[in-house]
Structure 1
C-alpha cells in the first residue's frame, strides 16, 4: 500500500476517533484526576494510573484518541472496546488494554478467574489490532499494542505474543494513589 493511501486511512481513523470522543485533553485529565480523588473501582484506578503516567511507561504515546470507546467496528460488539487508543509520535496507533488482577484471592475459583483474565486481555488486544487494521485499511505494522496490568506474570505472556506488557504492583498502585491524592489536595 502506498504511503499516501496509508496516511489517508490513518487520517480517516483519527477523524472518526475525534468524532466519537471530542473531549479536550484537559477535560480527560480532570476526569482521571477525579478518579484518583474519589473511590471508584480498581480497574478505573488502574486506567487513571496508566493515563497519568503514560509518558513514563509508554513514551511514544502522544495523543489520546479514544478511551473506553469503540471505533466504528461495523457493529462487532464481540470485539469490545479498547481501553486506550493513542496516536504515537511516529504516527502509528497504540492500543492499550488494562486489567486489574487481584493476586490476593485464593482458591480454585480465584485461580481460574485470574487465568481467564490473563488469557483474555492478551487475546483481546491482538484481535482488536487485526480487526482495526483490516476494517480501516491501515497496515498491521502501523499498530502497536500493550497490556497494562497488576500482574507481573503477564510480562512473559505478552512478549511471547509480540505485545508489550507493563505492570504496576497493587501495593505500588495504591501508594501512588495516596501520593497523587495528597498532591491534588485531597485528604
Structure 2
C-alpha cells in the first residue's frame, strides 16, 4: 500500500471515528459491566484481548462503520485495525449460539458460520477496489463463539479465533470483578 493511500485511509478513519483508543476501551469496559447484547460482549472481549487473539493488530481504526465512505449498503466492518507492519486487518465477529440443540439450530449455526466468512471476504474485495489497496495488504480475521469455524479459514486465508460461550461469561464475571 502506498504511504499516500494508507495516510488517506487513516485520516478518513479519524474523521468518521474520532474517539481515542482510551475512549473506546472505556466503552467496551462499560459493555462488560452491563452486557445487554451478546454480540457486543463478544466484541468487547475481542477489543480488550486483541494482542492475544490477533497479535499483529496495533491500532483500532474503525468499529462498526463502513470502510467505504458513507456507503453502509456496501457493508460495515466490525473492526478495522492498522497492523504493526502498516497493513489493514479486517475482523468480523459473530456470536453463534452453540448451546442450542436440534436440526433447526444446527442449520442456523451453519448459516452463521458461512455468513461471517462471506462478510469478511466481500468486505476485503470491496475495500481493495474502493481504496485501491492490494489484496495482499489486507488481512482478514473472524472471531466467534464457535470453535467449528477455526479450521474453515485455512482455505480462504482468514485467521480464525473463537471463545466458548462459557469461557466468555467467566471472563466477563472476572473482568468485571477486577474492574
Q: TM-score range by the shorter chain?
A: over 0.9
Deviations 1:70-123 (A, max 9, x none): 12256361x321000000100000000001101111122211111111001001
Following the alignment from structure 2 to structure 1, what is the Cα–Cα distance between the partners of residues 172 and 35? 11
Instruction: Please say if 1:8 is aligned against 2:4.
Output: yes
Instruction: Please say if 1:149 is aligned against 2:149.
Output: no
Deviations 1:16-52 (A, max 9, x none): 1111100011110000000000132110000000000
Cα RMSD of the aligned pairs, angstroms, is 1.2
Counterpart contact for 2:87–2:139, Cα < 8 Å: yes
Following the alignment from structure 1 to structure 2, what is the Cα–Cα distance between the partners of residues 83 and 161? 19
Counterpart contact for 1:54–1:61, Cα < 8 Å: yes
Select the residue among 129, 141, 149 that pairs with 1:134.
129
Select the residue among 54, 71, 76 that pairs with 1:75.
71
Alignment of 1:105-120 (within 5 A): 105-120=100-115
Q: Counterpart in 2 of 1:17?
A: 13
Following the alignment from structure 1 to structure 2, what is the Cα–Cα distance between the partners of residues 34 and 105? 28
Alignment of 1:53-132 (within 5 A): 53-73=49-69, 75=71, 77=73, 79-132=74-127
Point out where structure 1 has 5 or more consecutive residues left out of the alignment.
none
TM-score (norm 2): 0.96
Counterpart contact for 1:149–1:167, Cα < 8 Å: yes
Instruction: Please say if 1:46 is aligned against 2:39.
Output: no
TM-score (norm 1): 0.92
Change (3 A) 1:39 1:76: closer
Q: Which has the larger radius of gyration?
A: 1
Q: Which runs of structure 1 show a deviation greater than 6 angstroms over 4 or more consecutive aligned residues?
A: none
